[in-house]
Each structure stands twice: as C-alpha cells, then as structure tokens.
Amino acid sequence: MKTAMVKKHVISQLAILLGALLLTAAAFCLGHFMTPETLVSHSYEDRVLPSEMQSILHEASLYTVNARLEGIYFCPEAEDAQLIVSVDPALTGPVRCIEFRFREPFEENTAYTLFYPDAEGAFSESCTVTGELKAGRESLFLELPANTDPSMQSFRLDIDQDYHLEDICVSPEGTEGSYVPAEHTDRKLWIALFAVDFLLLELLWFLRGERKKTLGLSKRERNGAAILSGRRIIRDNGWYVFGVLLLLGLIAFEWKSSTEASPVLGSSRIYTGIFLLVGVLTAVLAALFWRFVLLRQEQEIPWRGIFVTVLLLLSVLYMVVFLPFLSPDEKTHYLSAYRIADWFLGKGTPAGKPQMIMRLEDYTFVSMRQVGLKGDYLRELTGQLHLFCREPGYVVRDASLATNAVFCYFPAAFGIAAARILHLSGAGCFYLSRMANVLFCTGVTAHVMKKYRFHNEALFTLACFPMMLQLTASCTYDTAAFCNVLLFTVHVMAMRSSRERISGRDLALCMVYAALLGPSKTVYLPLLFLIFLVPAEKLGDTGKKAVWYRLCVVGAGVLSLLLVSRGLRWLSSSTAVQTMLSENATGHILSWNGEEGYTFLYILTHLKEFILLCGRTVTRIGDEYFFTMLGSRLARYELTVPAVCGGLCFILFLFASNIREGKGEYRPFSGGEKVVSLVLCAGCTACIMLALTLGWTPLSSDTILGIQGRYFLPLLPALIPVLRDRHIQVEAGMRSRIVFLVTAVNLWLLVHSYGQMFFSA
C-alpha cells in the first residue's frame, strides 16, 4: 500500500514537472517567435531627442500665473502655478517636440501638465500632455500629438514646485524610441517563469480534493421539487407582486427622465438598450424567483445556487453599465494586470525596468481617450466597439506595478492573456479582464458558501453591496484582495466550528490562504491573528504545539509579503509601497500638492498628535467612510447616489447575519472572541490610517486625507459573527425577502446611476 502511494506521488510530480515545462515552452514560443526583434517605444526611458534642437529661451516671452519668475528661477506662490511661453512661429517653424532643461535635478517625483493651444488658440483641458518627472532628472522632453497645429505660438507648463530653468528647446521632429524585448536576451526570465508555473501546478494539485469536503458540517439534503399552488403564492406574498411592478415602473421612470434631459443621447439605441437590458433581466429574475423560491418549501430551496446566480448576473450588469476606467484607479490597475499578462505570454521586461509591451490597439484604447461622466464619452466608446483586433503591431510604454499585491492581478491578467491569444480588440481585451475578475469573485464566493454554510445570507448581502459589485465588475485589484481575505477568514471560521480535530491538510491550506492574504494589502495583516480563535485542542495535543501551528500561519503571511516585495523587482522598477517606504525615511514632499507630508520619524516623535488626528478623522468624516463603503458614491467617487440605498443594504446585512438555523449546529462567538475580532479590525483600520497619513496627508491638514470607504470592505466578513446577537431573532423565512430586496435595490440603482451618469455631471 505504501509503495503504491509513493509511486502515485512520483507520477504526479513528474506530471506537474512536465506540465510546467510545456507551459514555459508555450510562453517561450509566443514570446520568441511572435515578437519582433525591436519595437516602437513610447517609454520615457527609451525615447531619443531629435539630433537638432533649437533653443528659444532668449527669443521667447515668459509669463507666470500664481508664481513669480526671477531670472531663471520659477517659484510658485499659490495653487496651479503656471509658466506660459510665447514665441514667434517665424523664428521656430513648426513645433512637434519640446524640451525643458533644468539647472538642478528634481529631488522627488513631480507631476507636470503641458497645455498647448486648441483649434481656437486657447488653453483647454482637452489639449494637454500629462505625466510625472522622475526624481534625479534634469530635463523634461515632450512630444505633441500629430494633430497639433504646427504654427502654435504659445504653450503652458504647470509644475507646482520650485525649479531653475536652464533652457527651452524645440524641434519640428518627434522623439524616437526603440526597445529590444527582454525575452530575446534575458534567459533568467524563463527560469523564473518555469518556477512560477511549477508552484502554481503544485498548488492546484494540493487543492484538487478541497471541493469534496466541508469542515465539520453535515451534507445538505438534496433539493426537493415540491411545488406550491400559484394562487397561494399570490395570496401569501403580495409584497412580491407589488415589488416587481414597482421596480419595473421605476426603471421606466428613470428611462423617461433621462431621455428628456438629453434627447440626442436618449435617442441612441445603445443608450436605450441598457434600460431595456435591465428591464428584461428584471423580468427574468422575477420569473426565476417565482420558480425556485416562492413555489418551493423553505427547506427545499437551493439557496447557494440562487445567491451565486444573482451575484453573477448583477456583476455582469455593473460591468456593462459602468464604462471603462470609471471605477477607482481602474486604468492604473489595468496596466499593472497587463504587465503580468505580458509575463504569462513570454513578453517580459528586464529586472527593475519600467517598460511594458502593449499591443498597439490596446495602447490606443487605454491612452487615447478622454474619460469622464459625459455623453461624449459614451458615444465615442460605443462608436469604436468591435470584436477582433484591427491594428497590428506592438508599442512599449512605462507602467510600473501599482502595488505589491501581485497575486491580486492574476485573475485580470489571465483574462488579458486569453483575449490576446484570441486576438480580441482593445475593448474585448479590457472587458474580458473585467469578466475574469467577475468569475473569480463569484467562484470564490460559491466556494466559501459551500465550505461554510453558516452566514451564507450575510456573505451574499455583503457581496451585493453597490460598492462591492462595482469593484467586482472592474479591473481593480481590490476584488481579488477581498477574495483572499474572505478565503482566509471563512477558513478560520470553519476550523473553529469543526467538530473534529483539524487535519494537517486543512492547516496547510490555512497557511496557503495566509500567504495569499499577506501581499494582498499590507494593512490587512492583523487579520492573520484570527487563527488564534481556533481552539487549541483542535490544533495539537499540547498547548505549545497549537501555539506553534498558529505562529506558522501568521509567519506564512508575513514571509509571503517579504518574498513578493523582493521578487517584484523582476516586474517593476518600484511599487507604491516601496516608494512610500523610501520617501518616508526622513522627510518628503507630497507629489499631489507640493506640501510637506508626514514621516515615520515625525509620527513616532508626535504620537499624541497622530492619535488626535485619527480621532478627528473618525468623528468628522467617519459617516462618509461608512456610506461610501456601502456605495453612496460610485464611479470614481463623482457619482452620488441616494444614501438610503446603502443604509437599506446595511440593515439587510444586519438581518442576514442574525438568521437562525434552528438546529443548534452553529456555535456563536463568545464575548472574548468578539472582542478579539473587533481589536483586529481596529488594528487594520489603524494601519489604513497610518498608510494614508504617510502617503497622502500634508502636515497642514487637520484630518487624514485619501481614505476611501472601500478599504474597509474586507473587514466585514470578520465582523459578521460580531453582529450576530441573541437579542436579534430573524426567522429563516426572511431569506426570500433579503434576496428580493438586495436584487431590487441594485437593479434600480443601476438604472438611476446610468441615467444620472451622463446628464448630471
């Protein structure tokens, strides 16, 4: 028997080794034989100035706004400091490339915006070139778009920092840049890719039997098919008929109101089609609700299947309604996922370099669009939709990873890689990456509901918060970060509720989830200590052994964070966390407003002031965090929706957390366990405040800036048992009402948001 097991193990390892070799070989073929030897590069690192640059500093007239100019020294005096350069076009000829040379390098990364004249000769937000000048650079060169008027007479540079202007040069020629793909020269890239493929296949092999078991829970009875009479349903559930009719009426009202506000956009077939799609889906969901909920006995309703189906359909609708890059930081995170997709396809970049290879069509889709809550954006986007790629070729651009959360980009990166293999268009690539996030979040939710059937109603309500659905239906890494925290939290709860001793496999799986949670977001590391809620007798024979196992779980998360942070040098020159740590060693200037910010040393020496700062933040704008967490402000926080929607969702979440099973199987949290959960969540909140204080808050502010309600969503799964109170008794029959109301609120909010999105902004 033992020999057979050893033989089976050896065969499985050989199969995994062969699979990793095949995957690496496929990536090698894709990268080595289908990528040109050199590519056109839009990366600042690769661009080369034209050979002949003409100096115009002494011929130009220099003016300032909200600043003063003393010789060559530019000093801002207020916000939006501007340097306006006017020149005679007869002296310069056509201008395509501009270079600003500085006497001293900038000490920190500095944002800039160059305005050039529009068709009427005025400066406007539609004619700009923006970017960030890296620390240590002594020059800034910019290439104007090809459609710019070559006879331009002036341009404006906005930099809210002091600088010494050495020279200004122009050229009628554009910059040039070429890039040699790393897969043609860097052999270490393939060794690293093979190691990652091998580890992923090992993890999948380890998890192969997880779907077959549930910790300490009895199997659910097979769903019956007892059908109740329709007449009885209508008599006993008049709220259902009234609710469906009311929802359809509200959808029709929103459509009518929106089309009257803008008849031109309202007459568009695509715009009207969204309202029609929501109306049809409402009717379909109403029919499914009738068939699988109202016509069945309570104990025979397949609740988990209903939860997952509704979550999937609502996520897809959010994906359709909220247009590309309208979610928080979606463009930045899409580019980070695209960089990892490059690696999956064998198109790597040298270690520590910012360049990233993009298809020309994807580059155009991401870069050449004015994103905003306006009808022009909708018309522009829908007018350019097509299925397959039409622009051949590749370009190179700068795009460092936004965060250390490399695992959180994997779902979207797999979607991007699949779209590129299928030769989909830029829009198809973007939406497939969104769909990959939707499927990943839905799959994780279905998995945890099957593994731990207690609190399924609360998990469903949480997953259907408007803010959570918007994140699920976007390319942001917050979706996968929430899922990684959810996997760990629910697994710990399942271990705590197990009636048997925890097996080594379950403990190892807990360590895997901890390793996924660690790099997701550093601020959630305190949740690793939830493992101490698992009773010692279920972990080991002795107390010391149980403590050792718990420390191994915590150590797995911390070690994973450290290893991933070091390994990211292969993919990016720096990340947000690395930049924050380097800038906060002694002192730094905030790039977004040019003011002096907090540092670690300052906080340690002024701890009392920092505590008061946190207290003022919570008392003054804590309600904003609460309602934005639920979804009172969507899109990129520009779209305000009625707060009553978020308030109703939270009430339903509270009710769902207190539904009684009726069989005595669930062991509620004790007072001490609730205190531990609250303390750990408070620790995560303190970490969030510390991170935003260091990275976003100037010393002059009396509250912490940059905190968003969505940062607190991953804490809610750990608070579900805390919200369960013996004084709140909710019968199991409330499940149907909760599902109905959650679905109805989101459907109405979708059409309301869509109608307001392009008319009220």
Q: Which two tokens stand for residue 508?
A: 């190892």
Residue 119 lies in a domain: yes
- DSSP state at residue 187: T
| Burial environment of residue 88 by CB neighbours within 10 A (0 to 12, 13 to 18, 19 or more) | exposed
> Contact, 656 vs 458, CB < 8 A?
yes
10 and 140 belong to one structural domain: no
What per-residue confidence (pLDDT) applies to 92? 66
DSSP state of 589: B
Virtual CA dihedral for 601, 606, 607, 609, nearest 10 degrees? Answer: -140
Distance CA 98, CA 175 (A): 10
What pLDDT digit, counting tens, does each position of 318-358 carry? 998 888 888 888 888 898 889 888 888 877 665 567 777 88
pLDDT number for residue 211: 43
CATH of the domain at 152: 2.60.120.260
Give the closest residue to 716 by CA, choosing from 624, 621, 626.
Answer: 626
Grouping H, G, I as helix, E, B as strand and the rest as coil, residue 181 is coil
Give the least confident one: 178-187, 706-715, 744-753: 178-187
Looking at the structure, do residues 193 and 152 belong to the same domain, yes or no? no
Both 28 and 105 in one domain: the answer is no
| The 3-state secondary structure of 83-95, one letter per residue | EEEECCHHHHCCC
Q: How far is CA 112 from CA 56, 80, 160, 161, in A?
A: 20, 11, 8, 10
The two structure tokens encoding residue 112? 């800039």
Q: What is the pLDDT of residue 572?
A: 56
Same domain, yes or no, for 128 and 33? Answer: no
Share of the chain above pLDDT 90, in %: 17
End-to-end CA distance of the chain: give it in Å, rounded.
71
Coil, strand, or helix at residue 309?
helix
> Does 251 fall in a domain?
no
pLDDT at residue number 594: 66
Question: 530 and 426 in one domain?
Answer: yes
Reported as a pLDDT band with limits 50, 70 and 90, residue 44 is low
Q: Give, to the nearest 10 degrees, the angle between helix 238-261 and helix 269-289.
A: 180
Q: Is 278 exposed, middle or buried (0-12, 13-18, 19+ CB in 10 A)?
A: buried
Can you read off the two tokens belonging to residue 271? 């715009």
User: Phi and psi for 502 in degrees, rounded to 5?
Assistant: -70, 130
Q: In this structure, are 30 and 136 located in the same domain?
A: no
**Residue 439 pLDDT > 90:** yes
- Kind of pairing, strands 39-41 and 176-179? antiparallel
Residue 269 lies in a domain: no
Q: Which range of residues forms the domain containing residue 106?
A: 50-174
pLDDT tens digit sequence for 398-412: 777 767 778 889 999
Three-class secondary structure assignment of 8-65: HHHHHHHHHHHHHHHHHHHHHHHHHHCCCCCEEECCCCCEECCCCCEECCCCCEEEEE
Select the more confidently predicted residue: 182 or 507: 507
Average pLDDT for 208-230: 43
CB 553 within 8 A of CB 495: no
| CA 608 from centre of chain | 34
Q: How far apart are CA 577 and CA 557, in angstroms?
A: 17
> What average pLDDT does this structure show over 625-640?
86
Mean pLDDT computed over 593-604 = 79
Tens of pLDDT, residue by residue over 110-129, are: 778 888 887 777 777 767 77
Which two tokens mark 352? 């520590």
Across the chain, how many H-helices and E-strands are there?
25, 18
- The mean pLDDT of the chain is 79
Contacts with 144 (C-beta within 8 Å, 6 or more apart), sequence order? 95, 96, 97, 98, 116, 129
- For residues 651 and 730, is the Cβ–Cβ distance under 8 A? no
Q: Judge residue 131's burial from the number of C-beta atoms within 10 Å of its C-beta, 0-12 exposed, 13-18 middle, 19 or more buried.
A: middle
**Mean pLDDT, rounded, for 3-32:** 73
Helix pair angle (188-206, 504-520), 10° resolution: 130
- Give the model's confidence band at 5: pLDDT under 50 very low, under 70 low, under 90 confident, else very high: low
Structural tokens at position 494 = 């399942």
Distance CA 154, CA 168 (A): 13
Domain shared by 22 and 82, yes or no: no
pLDDT tens per residue, range 280-294: 888 888 888 888 887
Compute the distance between CA of residue 352 and CA of residue 355 in angstroms, rounded to an integer: 9
* Residue 191 falls inside a structural domain: yes
Decide if 423 is inside a domain.
yes
Tracing tokens 């995170």 back to the chain, one arrives at 333
| 740: in domain | no
For residues 132 and 35, state if they share a domain.
no
Q: Are residues 185 and 123 in the same domain?
A: no
- What pTM, to 2 d.p., does this model score? 0.77
Among candidate residues 330, 338, 343, the one with its CA nearest the CA of residue 358:
338
Q: Are 16 and 201 in contact (CB under 8 A)?
A: yes
User: What is the predicted pLDDT for the residue at 216?
Assistant: 40
The DSSP bridge pattern shows strands 394-398 and 39-41 to be parallel
- Using the predicted structure, report yes or no on whether residue 308 has a pLDDT greater than 70: yes
- Do 623 and 507 fall into the same domain? yes
C-beta separation of 433 from 415 below 8 A: yes
Does some domain include residue 490?
yes
Least confident range of 143-147, 509-513, 597-601, 647-651: 143-147
288 within domain boundaries: no
- What number is the average pLDDT over the span 627-649? 85
Strands 61-65 and 39-41: unpaired
Give me the pLDDT at residue 536, please.
84
Closest by CA position to 160, among listed 116, 101, 98, 113: 113
Distance, in Å, from the CA atom of 445 to the CA atom of 112, rounded to the nearest integer, reads 43
Split into its structural domains, the chain has a count of: 3
**Do 107 and 6 share a structural domain?**
no
pLDDT band with cut points at 50, 70 and 90 for residue 227: very low
Q: Containing H/E element for 75?
A: strand 73-76
Together in a domain, 18 and 149? no
Q: From CA 189, how far away is CA 351, in angstroms rounded?
A: 9
pLDDT value at 499 more than 60: yes
